[in-house]
Amino acid sequence: MLTRVIGGVFAILLWGDLAFAQAQRVSLYNWPDYFPQSVIDIFEQQTSIKVDIFDYASDEEKDAVLYATQAKSHDIFVTSQFRLPNYIASDWLAQVPKDKLPNLKHVDPKWLDTENANYCVPYLWGTLGILYRKDRVKTPPTSWNDFFQPDETLKSSIGMIKDSRDVIGMALLSLGFTLNETRMYAFRQVERRLAEFDEYVADFQILELSEKSQIIQGNWAMSMAYNGDAQVLQSLNDQLKFVLPKEGTAIWMDCFAVNHEAAKKPIVWEFLNYIHQPKVAAKIADSLKFATTNKSAEQFLSASFKRNPVIYPSQAIMNRSTVYKSLPTNARLQLQRLYSNLMYRVQRNQQSKM
């Protein structure tokens, strides 16, 4: 009997230790290479909290996982701010407790005064442009119209972002529409444009930020690219040039969202508060080459970083650019249909060449 009691007490104590150990882990669902490991390492050393990072390859992949698990698969996930309404409507997210995140005082107010800001811890912001090889592209592109009507020599050599909103949004801009368009007339115009474009597409994927990248290897001549990713790749190859098209582009803001159950864990808020320490936010921005939403962090960034027109576009570009907004259901379905059809045709073209 004594042995059983002692064993039972030991089991309870052991279970308590395991539960505590489990509670000291935070899982983050994120784009690949979109959080500096050096920042994670310092946080783990300072707090003994382990951060487990899991990657997704596209917003569609992320959403599939979230819908399958009711967003309970991870404590925190990074998402485009305009996608929040769908998650809020599904009642997955916890509101951001400002009292537990005092470092939000460092965030530029314009990023806190946005749609559904109560469910968003701002992260980074940026733009989408065209990255191309100077040795492969005869006429340098200056517009989205150039991108979607390329030279015949570029067939099967253009890379596309693996994101329906970005692909269709930029096609809309190339035709003179807004990227938040909802009219069927505009979608029919896009459909015609993409029907003439599919043979130029090499693949849909995130740009790998290494020497193995398709555009560095020369397999791609041109690609859609987020501005920070373009800078990382340009540092690896001097044949690459990045341009923000003259029609303007998308201005996006990514944020951290927290699921309801994870909100019960104080360490989740501790982690999110940590990344908005100004020096930490500056380190993240400098590492990833994207603009930070943390206004106080700018004092810790170099003058060359703050003057970089790829990171901080000119006011003229900003005036011509647009922030993504959430779309009504019918427009989202049409957008997804156009994107899926384009992907299908590209895959069919690839198979026919095998």
Over residues 13-35, the pLDDT tens digits come to 333 343 444 458 999 999 999 99
Shared-domain flag, residues 48 and 180: no
pLDDT in tens, 92-126: 999 999 999 999 999 999 999 877 889 999 999 99
pLDDT at 21: 45
Same domain, 118 and 261: yes
351 band by pLDDT with thresholds 50, 70 and 90: confident
Same domain for 241 and 268? Answer: no
Residue 353 pLDDT exceeds 90: no
pLDDT in tens, 121-159: 999 999 999 999 999 999 999 999 999 999 999 999 999
The pLDDT-based confidence of 206 (bands split at 50, 70, 90) is confident
Task: Please check the confidence at residue 7 and state whether its pLDDT lies above 60.
Answer: no
Q: How many domains does the chain divide into?
A: 2
- Residue 183 sits in a domain of what CATH number? 3.40.190.10
The pLDDT of residue 350: 82
| Residue 38 and residue 174 share a domain | no
Residue range 267-277: mean pLDDT, rounded: 97
Q: Given pLDDT bands bounded at 50, 70 and 90, which one contains residue 3? A: very low
Same domain, residue pair 280 and 347: no
- On whether both 72 and 191 belong to a single domain, the answer is no
Write down the pLDDT at residue 8.
34
CA angle 29, 33, 38 (to 5 degrees): 95
The pTM assigned to this predicted structure is: 0.88
The answer to whether residues 42 and 54 belong to one domain is: yes
- Say yes or no: 278 and 200 in one domain: no
Looking at the structure, do residues 266 and 244 belong to the same domain, yes or no? no
What does the pLDDT read at residue 15? 33
Same domain as 337, residue 219:
yes
Which among 290, 307, 324 is the end of a domain?
307
What pLDDT is stored for residue 117 in this prediction? Answer: 87
213 pLDDT more than 90: yes
pLDDT tens, 33-88?
999 999 999 999 999 999 999 999 888 899 999 999 999 999 999 999 999 998 99
pLDDT band at 247 (very low <50, low <70, confident <90, very high): very high
pLDDT score of 12 more than 70: no
71 and 182 fall within a common domain? no
The whole-number average pLDDT for the span 229-237 is 95
Domain holding 157, by residue range, is: 127-251+314-352
**Based on the domain organization, do 55 and 135 belong to the same domain?**
no
